[in-house]
């Protein structure tokens, strides 16, 4: 039986083994710097290097090691938790929801690492992820969206979607997942978005001690990798972006369907509306131009911002638009529908304003 915390941060701060998690993170960082040169040699042999080119803004070769570090960090976490702590007892690690998240993230990682080496077509990656997640979601109840709840000052509505629960969850996962993958376009934005949303998960969502521990550890490793990314020491690579972009929608589905929090549809919508809206805009724009909806270009929202503003200010605008509404709902009790509408209007205004003027 898993003990539930009474609030993700405040309820677990006396239970969570911060020292243990801190030591694993420090050990992981130490391992990275000890074996950095050997890792780079292996990466070069495998050709896991992102070279400058069309539709890319970096000017030098960057190793694609972020995902590899993330994956082996999770392996280290499970081994350490199983061997050295009492967080997991009676082999619960093999039955807990954390293991399910790890399995799903691992599949995405392996698809990504193959893509980094062989450069798979987007359609093949989406097909593989679709088949895997259909099989996964069929077996795991908390991934199936059987009811959609709208609860705010305008209306109170519950829609039973049990017959379509699996389809809704798969469509949500694929759209949010791919929207996050294509967010990895300018230095730091993908990592900072991921850090922001995992921080929100940790501090503002109720969950059991296992998930709290896992999220805290993953968050600290994400911070480390993002710092290296900002220093141009590495990129997340497809392996990293697919892994993280799988875990985030997994957690959103878990939190929404478990009903342990007083958050409803429009509150969740504020967290993912911007990347999904940007992906949708690009899809239709490419289709109208008779291009593949999966073709690459520099017309993403973050690229448009970068054409007008500095890198730091572009990232600040993007993250503020994504996450400020959540905090306004949480602390100022503003109606979430109003904030979603403001998000959408602001997005289109900034996207249009940031387009280069035709001569």
**Residue 341 neighbours by CB distance under 10 Å:** 12
Strand partners, 159: 148
Checking if the pLDDT of 3 tops 50, the result is no
Q: Are 5 and 15 in contact (CB under 8 A)?
A: yes
Average pLDDT across the chain, whole number: 85
In which residue are the tokens 């694609």 written? Answer: 64
Residue 58 has pLDDT above 60, yes or no: no
User: What's the CA gap between 70 and 72, in Å, rounded?
Assistant: 6
pLDDT digits (tens, 9 = 90+) for 63-82: 888 899 999 999 998 888 77
Domain ranges for the chain: 18-353
State the Cα angle at 12 between 88 and 151, rounded to 5°: 110
How would residue 7 be classed by pLDDT, with cut points 50, 70 and 90?
very low
- Give the length of the chain: 359
CA angle 8, 9, 11 (to 5 degrees): 75
Pair of tokens at residue 193: 């978005």
What is the predicted pLDDT for the residue at 328? 95
For residue 5, pLDDT beyond 50? no
Split at pLDDT 50, 70, 90, the class of 194 is very high
Q: Is residue 30's pLDDT more than 50?
A: yes
- Is residue 243 over pLDDT 70? yes
Rounded Cα–Cα distance for residues 296 and 298 (Å): 7
pLDDT of 240 > 90? The answer is yes
Average pLDDT over residues 28-36: 89
pLDDT at 111 over 60: yes
- 42 band by pLDDT with thresholds 50, 70 and 90: confident
Would you say residue 285 has pLDDT above 70?
yes
pLDDT at 11 over 50: no
Nearest to 355 by CA among 313, 314, 304: 304
Confidence of residue 2 (pLDDT cuts 50, 70, 90): very low
Position 86 pLDDT exceeds 60 = no
């Amino acid at each position: 039986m898993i003990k539930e915390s009474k609030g993700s941060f405040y309820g677990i701060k006396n239970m969570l083994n911060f020292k243990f998690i801190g030591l694993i993170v420090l050990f992981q960082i130490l391992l990275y710097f000890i074996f950095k040169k050997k890792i780079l040699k292996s990466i070069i042999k495998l050709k896991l290097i992102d070279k400058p080119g069309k539709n890319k803004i970096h000017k030098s070769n960057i190793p694609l090691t972020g995902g590899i570090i993330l994956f082996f960090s999770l392996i280290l976490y499970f081994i350490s938790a199983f061997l050295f702590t009492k967080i997991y007892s009676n082999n619960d690690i093999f039955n807990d929801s954390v293991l399910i998240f790890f399995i799903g993230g691992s599949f995405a990682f392996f698809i990504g690492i193959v893509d980094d080496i062989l450069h798979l077509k987007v359609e093949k990656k989406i097909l593989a992820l679709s088949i895997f997640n259909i099989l996964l979601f069929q077996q795991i109840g908390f991934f199936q969206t059987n009811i959609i709840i709208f609860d705010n000052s305008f209306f109170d509505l519950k829609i039973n979607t049990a017959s379509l629960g699996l389809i809704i969850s798969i469509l949500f996962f694929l759209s949010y997942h791919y929207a996050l993958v294509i967010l990895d376009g300018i230095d730091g934005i993908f990592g900072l978005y991921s850090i922001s949303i995992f921080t929100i998960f940790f501090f503002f969502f109720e969950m059991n001690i296992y998930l709290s521990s896992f999220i805290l550890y993953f968050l600290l490793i994400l911070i480390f990798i993002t710092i290296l990314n900002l220093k141009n020491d590495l990129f997340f690579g497809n392996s990293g972006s697919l892994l993280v972009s799988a875990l985030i929608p997994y957690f959103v589905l878990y939190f929404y369907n478990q009903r342990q929090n007083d958050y409803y549809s429009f509150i969740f919508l504020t967290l993912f509306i911007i990347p999904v809206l940007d992906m949708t805009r690009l899809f239709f724009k490419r289709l109208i131009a008779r291009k593949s909806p999966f073709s690459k270009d520099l017309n993403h929202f973050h690229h448009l911002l970068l054409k007008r503003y500095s890198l730091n200010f572009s990232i600040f605008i993007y993250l503020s638009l994504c996450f400020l509404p959540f905090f306004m709902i949480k602390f100022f009790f503003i109606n979430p529908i109003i904030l979603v509408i403001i998000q959408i209007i602001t997005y289109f205004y900034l996207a249009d304003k940031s387009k280069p003027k035709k001569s």
